[in-house]
Structure 1
Amino acid sequence: MQKSHKLHLMGTIITITIEHADPEPILVAVDELLKEYEHRFSANDYTSELMQITKFAGKQAVKVDEKLYELIEIGKIYSQLPNSNLNIAIGPLVQTWRIGFKDARVPTDQEIQQKLQLTDPANIILDAYDKSVYLANPQMTIDLGALAKGFIADLIIEYLNQQQVKAALINLGGNIVALGNPVGRPYWQIGLQDPSQPRGHSLGTLKIKDQSIVTSGIYERHLEQNGKSYHHIFDVKTGYPIQTNVVSLTILSQKSIMGEVWTTILFGKPVTKILKIVNQLENIECIIVTDDGKVYQSNKELLK
């Protein structure tokens, strides 16, 4: 039996579809897990487990749930890669711009430079034995927004596997993960959003099985001020929205967390550079759309 469920969490619409003889209790359990994970990983809820680390920044290390520790550890590793545009210590900068929230504003250059001083991921001190996290500077904050949805989607797939669910499709507001394939069909078919068109208009179809699709784009969340438009993906070196001709970057991967990692690391790089890097990665493919409407794909022809 196939059953779908929709809920509003993490600032987005989440849709879960599963095929199982008794889907209802599994979907109820998934709901509870999603609420638990939202409270654990949120950088916008001061009561969240993540924000307890911020509360004690510069004072003491905070013991955290092992999954939160794992995600912070992954984030720190990839934040320290040379020329990475992923930085989980970017929280002070994100909270200054607030793009996507009602109180969004354009900070002064002085404010931006001050906040950039607080974004060194090396100052996130991890203790693997205690599963504790310490922020060396009292004004630091961790923001897992670039990674959390993918990590959570992978955790839900893990749970569904434990429940012997053979086929499922998870859509965490555009982060899509497919488990198995639907009855009677070899693949799940997913439309890829055309960034130049309203939501629901696709560039083509992706066929996936036991795969994740993650898209980063600069076409949805904007701040308009004094005739200028500012999107929400920041250059971690300048502190300003990244300057790029890429309007969307989609990564196909086996694990959704790796889709999150690579869309964030690569966004803003030239198309040729993105393709070169992706073509060297195992089990990673990409689709790039530029502001002139051109579509570029990695080694495999993905769009149908």
Structure 2
Amino acid sequence: MQASSRSVRLMGTVIETKIWHENPEPILDQVENLLILYKDRFSANDLTSELMEVNLNAGVQAVPVAEDLYELIKLGKEHSLADKSFLNITIGPLVQTWRIGFSDAKLPSQEEIDEKLAIIDPADIELDDEDMLVYLEKEGMAIDLGALAKGYVADRIVEFLERMGVTAGLINLGGNVKTFGQAPHNPDGNWLIGIQDPGKERGKNILVLQIIQESVVTSGIYERSLTVEGKTYHHILSPQTGYPIASELASISIVSKRSVEGEIWTTRLFGQAMAEIYRTVCQTEGIEAVLIGLDGKVFVTPGLVDRVVAGKQHLSDGLASPSRGGFGARVASDVASGASAL
């Protein structure tokens, strides 16, 4: 059975769906339609999206939304309010002020930043579970699901493909890869996922992981940036300061069963000290991590040590974890980003 794939540019990236099936084209047509539906529902940059309807009614009235959008907002609020979380789904006004990654990106004034910080409190999202109503209490508030939506969509697309009888495949949403089934092109059935080297051009991986029916989500400061008067600002903003997060990390990759969990944890943790991130991942069931520091050092959590298939000879003791023992990886390999399927 031959592999078939479909690529479409949506959600600010190229989304590739690859499946093994005897009659793939009608299924891929439906996947493309689903992706467009989710874009129309979740986008914070489309004036006609369902999410934008919520944002435009901030401080005015509650808005009824579709079940999946309500579920995603509720999930985002929960993790935005978690202790030490750098995830904040109400960060939309701040993101739109900086516009990093868009042609009109700019360095905001301190006054503009302070103004936006006053309206990015996730506690000001009111949710009505019975009628699936969402209300933003303050005028000017705006939800941005960019830190969650791709993972949620990846999970939903895989669920659809499995219902359609597809036994193996993957979806790649640019830095977010989710696989299912056994990899038909590899004798052992494992999927090989490359982790982008933050210091090199796109497609140059610093290591390669072996996974089965899992997701790999990567977030890094190298993805989008703005340079003003010789100073470079990356796109990952702190909901505490309003400026790009000061971090020891160049990137973090989370391996998990559900892709949305990977999205949540890459954002929740980015901004914490690297040793603290390592300990948190080691103490959290269902996730593993690859941490790449600004100094080029790479650490993997214990559950991934035996799943590094490129550069494993460089493994050495790393950041200590009180619960599962210290073991990190310093790897350097030019095996031929985010995460990408090989």
Query: TM-score, normalized by length of structure 2?
Result: 0.88
Aligned equivalents of 2:21, 2:283: Cα separation in 1: 38
252, 261, 265: which one pairs with 2:264? 261
Following TM superposition, by how much is the alpha carbon of 1:303 offset from its aligned partner in structure 2, in angstroms?
2.2
Alignment of 1:169-248 (within 5 A): 169-183=170-184, 184-248=187-251
Q: Give SS of 1:26's match.
A: helix
* Partner residue, 1:102: 103
246, 269, 279: which one pairs with 2:282? 279
After the TM superposition, list the runs of 4 or more consecutive aligned residues in structure 1 that deviate by more than 6 angstroms. none
Alignment of 1:1-304 (within 5 A): 1=1, 2-183=3-184, 184-300=187-303, 301=305, 302-304=307-309
Aligned equivalents of 1:169, 1:206: Cα separation in 2: 15
Aligned equivalents of 1:283, 1:166: Cα separation in 2: 23
CA contact (8 A) 1:187 1:208 kept: yes
Following TM superposition, by how much is the alpha carbon of 1:185 offset from its aligned partner in structure 2, in angstroms?
3.8
Aligned equivalents of 1:236, 1:57: Cα separation in 2: 19
Aligned equivalents of 1:115, 1:206: Cα separation in 2: 40
Following TM superposition, by how much is the alpha carbon of 1:235 offset from its aligned partner in structure 2, in angstroms?
1.1
Q: Can you give the 5+ residue segments of structure 2 that lack an aligned partner in the other structure?
A: 310-342
CA contact (8 A) 2:14 2:173 kept: yes
- What do residues 172-197 of structure 1 show as CA deviations (whole Å, max 9, x unaligned)? 11210001122244111111111111
Q: Give SS of 1:279's match.
A: helix
CA contact (8 A) 1:19 1:182 kept: no
Q: Give SS of 1:38's match.
A: helix
> Partner amino acid for 1:30?
V
Following TM superposition, by how much is the alpha carbon of 1:270 offset from its aligned partner in structure 2, in angstroms?
1.1
> Partner amino acid for 1:106?
L
- What do residues 248-298 of structure 1 show as CA deviations (whole Å, max 9, x unaligned)? 000000000000000000002111101100001112000000111100111
CA contact (8 A) 1:89 1:119 kept: yes
CA contact (8 A) 2:175 2:219 kept: no
- What do residues 131-157 of structure 1 show as CA deviations (whole Å, max 9, x unaligned)? 110010111000000110000000101
- What do residues 93-133 of structure 1 show as CA deviations (whole Å, max 9, x unaligned)? 11100000011001111111110000011110000000110
Aligned equivalents of 1:83, 1:249: Cα separation in 2: 17
Kindly tell me: are residues 291 and 284 of structure 1, through their superposed partners in 2, closer, same or farther at Cα, counting changes over 3 Å? Answer: same
> Partner amino acid for 1:9?
L
Q: Give SS of 2:261's match.
A: helix
Q: Give SS of 1:5's match.
A: strand
Count matched residues: 304
CA contact (8 A) 2:234 2:244 kept: yes
Aligned equivalents of 1:26, 1:227: Cα separation in 2: 48
> Partner amino acid for 1:4?
S
Q: Give SS of 2:179's match.
A: strand
Following TM superposition, by how much is the alpha carbon of 1:162 offset from its aligned partner in structure 2, in angstroms?
0.7
Following TM superposition, by how much is the alpha carbon of 1:220 offset from its aligned partner in structure 2, in angstroms?
2.1
Aligned equivalents of 1:259, 1:210: Cα separation in 2: 14
CA contact (8 A) 2:150 2:176 kept: yes
Q: Give SS of 1:276's match.
A: helix
> Partner amino acid for 1:139?
G
Q: Can you give the 5+ residue segments of structure 1 that lack an aligned partner in the other structure?
A: none
Aligned equivalents of 1:59, 1:97: Cα separation in 2: 25
